[in-house]
Structure formats: structure tokens, C-alpha cells
Amino acid sequence: MATRTDTGAHTLVLGGGPAGIGAAQATVLERASEPGGLSSTIMLAGAVFDLGGHSFHTPHPEIKKLVFDSLEMFEQERDARCYHKGEWVKYPFQQNFKDLNSQETIAACELGLEQIDSSLPCNNFKQFLNARFGSGICKHFMSPYNQKLWGEDLSRLGTYWVNQRVASPNGHKHKFQNDGGERTPLQAKTKVAYPAKGGFHEIFKALALRVPDLQTNKQVMRIDPITKQVWTATGDNYPYESIVSTLPLERLLKIIDNVPKELIADVSSLETLALDLVLIAVSGPVSTDIQRIYSADPERPAHKIAINHNSSDFLRALPNHAIMAELSRPHGFMHDLKKLPEKVVNDLIDMDVLSLDDKILESRVIEIKHAYPVPSHKVPQILEKVRAWLLERDIHLVGRFAEWAYINSDEALFRGLKQGERLCR
């Protein structure tokens, strides 16, 4: 990994999230008061919430070893369900729709699979869904779910990312890789892990202890790639030989001197998906073992619900429990934030996740402006141009919004680790 040189100049890592921690045997500049980025944890009325429905699973043995050697982890089989018009089926829907009670829905899904035409074009995400799953599965779940998440126009998304994220129907199963290689989608019985005590953020608190020079409350304001110096909002100046940036790409370009206007315009055209996270703190245990719920029903605004107290036995034993609903905001859509908690609670009661007798202790809505990078068609070409310009100036990109890659924290950690190793050679 990168280390300080005899001249005092060294590798600077910008951002102390998973990718930055993975890259760092160097100086890490993090603008927040603690590391973790999008993997942060907060407490509300004694309940433990993660900013996003996090669990740990990875195809990279070295990342699993790094995490498991850093703190005690709790492992269990993933229990995720799809809620479809009053019925529950195991996630993913496309592999378990035959467990529905509605024979009409089952027949439509089966017929759609039989009628798939492999000669159809697959040039965008909408075409991919129809070509992969057929009209029935698309109608009843895949299309409405993804439209809730990404917005109505699924044709604006490319297909270069789907193999790692979208599980195949039965008969075309992916196998989740646990022994190295590329990530494939989660299955019904995938084993997932979580810190044995505390929230998901405990992973990155433990890993941060391995970073020799983690400096918090250091927001980078300017980078001069000619003199190779960085300035922070606190007035500190850092010389460097190379930079590993995990910052959102648009922000990075704004703080570098003399970036071509064309590159700034290209990156500004990339689409970011924001989320509203609805946090519901409940008194006492919630009577379900489900960890994750996925809903395509348009009348229920949340596309994903995390029952966070089921992430570990430690959280199950707490007196107050956490439920978090994710609501996407494609194309800048705004929810009525004042009404969201009540709507989410009513939906949870209607789904029998909560009862009328459950006591809601507190609720809160948190806005995540940079939640998902939208995998549009133009991302690969723009990233290639930006990377080339930055690499000429010894600036390397790692992480979800630095690389505009729809990746999880373990993959960000892995990419950061590998980037650090390359800079050490």
C-alpha cells in the first residue's frame, strides 16, 4: 500500500468511507467527524439504524478475512421476501413466483418465460428485463419494482451492470461467489454477516484503526495537480505524489485547478439517485424474522424495507427495534416528508409487519442526496475520458461515486485495497 516518502510527499486518500479505508496505508482526509461514509450507523430512541440496508457478503476472500480479523462478526442465512399484492414470496421474485397463491399470476409468469424470444435486442435495461424474464414476471414485479427505484424510463439505463445485481429466473441460476471472482446476485439462502455488537458502522470503525494517519474534519477545497498540493477548509496544506479519490466525481472536478470544461459538463450530465430514508423506532420486539422486504406495489412508496433488528442476535436482544424504509427519488421527485412516517407505518401494519398495538417511539426522515449512481448508457465512455485525464495527473478513482459504479461496501473496500497495493509497487 502507499506510504510516505523521504521527501514528505506521499499518497493522499480523499474520503474515509469503505474505499478510502481499503486504500489507506497513507494519510486519509475525511471531511466528517468519523469514517464510514454511506456505511454509517445512527441511534434513534435506543434503536440501531444503518444508513441503507447493510449486510456483509463478499466474493473476495481477502476482504472477508480482513473484516473477520478486525472484529467479531455474526453470520446467518439471509431472509428476504417480496411483498406482492398481499402475498409473501421469497426473494428473488423471479425464482419464487410459483409460491404465490394466485394461479393467474403464476400462469402469466410461466407463459412469459416460455415465450421469451432470444433474438430480441437487449440494448437497454428495459429490453434486458423483457428478454430475460418475459412479459409476466416483468408485469407483476420486475418492471414496477425497478421503476419505483430508477424511475419510469428504464430504457435510459445500460446493461453492463446487471450480471452483478439482477438474479436470473429458475433454470438460469446464478451462484453467489464466495471463493473469489466477480460478484453475482444474492440468492434466497445466501449467508450474510453483520457485526456481533453494534451497527454496520462497527466494521469501518474497526478497520479505521489500521489506518496510520486518519484525519477527520478535513474537507478538501483545492487540488493543484501541477505543484501537487492539496488545501483543506481548515487551511492545511498537503504535498502529494499521488491521490486516491473516493469523492463524488463532480465534486472532485470542481476542486481541481484547470479542469477542461468539457469534462466538467460530461460529469455533470451523469445522473444521481437520491433516497429518503424513513426511520421507525419501535418499542419491543417486532414479530417477524424477515430481514429485508422488497415491494413493487405502486401504492406503497418504499421499494425496500430493512428490519434492522434481525441483522444480529445482539440487535434482537435490544429493547427497542429499528425499521428503515427506502424511498427512491428518481428525476428529482420529492415526497411529502411530513406524511412519510405515518404512511410507512400504515403500510407496515397493512403488511402485518407491525400491529396496531405496537408502540412507535420516534420516527425521522433522512435525505441521502448521493445514494445510487444511475448506470446510464454514457457512464462507461465518460469514465474512460475522465480517468485518462486524471491518471495523467496521478489522481486515481476508487469507490461508488468516484467510479460511478453501483457497488456495495465490500466491493468498494476491495477496490480500495487493490488500488493501494498497485501504488505500493
* Nearest in space to 312 (alpha carbons), one of 425, 164, 200, 201: 200
**Cα 210 from Cα 183, distance rounded (Å):** 26
Delimit the domains of the chain by residue range.
10-39+62-73+196-270+375-424, 93-174, 272-373
pLDDT at 69: 94
CATH code assigned to 272-373: 3.90.660.20
Q: How far is CA 141 from the centre of its chain?
A: 21
Angle between helices 201-208 and 61-70 (to 10 degrees): 80
232 DSSP 8-state letter: E
CA dist., res. 366 & res. 278, Å (int)? 7
DSSP 278-312: EEEEEES--S----EEEE--TTS--SEEEEGGGG-
Q: Is 415 exposed, middle or buried (0-12, 13-18, 19+ CB in 10 A)?
A: buried
- At 170, which amino acid appears? N
Cα separation of 17 and 204, whole Å? Answer: 8
Low-confidence ranges of the chain (pLDDT < 70): 1-9, 24-26, 36, 38, 164-165, 170-189, 425
Q: What is the per-residue pLDDT for 420?
A: 84
Task: Report the alpha-carbon distance of residue 317 to residue 11 in Å, rounded.
Answer: 43
Kindly state the helix (H) or strand (E) to which residue 29 belongs, with its residue range: strand 27-29
Q: How far apart are CA 369 and CA 272, in angstroms?
A: 8
Q: Supply the DSSP symbol for 388.
A: H
Predicted confidence at residue 270, as pLDDT, reads 97
pTM score, two decimals? 0.89
- Distance (Å) of CA 55 to CA 50, 63, 194, 418: 10, 14, 6, 22
Whether cis (ω within 30° of 0) applies to the bond prior to 92 is yes
* Dist CA 207 CA 223 (whole Å): 27
Residues 6+ apart with CB under 8 A from 202: 41, 71, 195
Q: Report the C-alpha gap between 7 and 9 in whole angstroms.
A: 5
> Can you give the pLDDT at residue 4?
35
The pLDDT of residue 325 is 97
Under 8 Å between Cβ of 64 and 57: no
Residues 294, 140: Cα–Cα separation, whole Å: 13
Place of cell 442526496: 369
Q: Residues in the chain, how many?
A: 425
Q: What is the mean pLDDT of the chain?
A: 89
Residue found by looking up cell 473484516 in the block: 67
Fold held by 10-39+62-73+196-270+375-424: FAD/NAD(P)-binding domain (3.50.50)
Q: Give the pLDDT score at 353.
A: 95
Q: What is the pLDDT of residues 367-401, one digit of tens each?
A: 998 899 999 999 999 999 999 999 999 999 999 99
Give the model's pLDDT for residue 185: 56
Burial class (CB in 10 A: 0-12, 13-18, 19+), 119: exposed
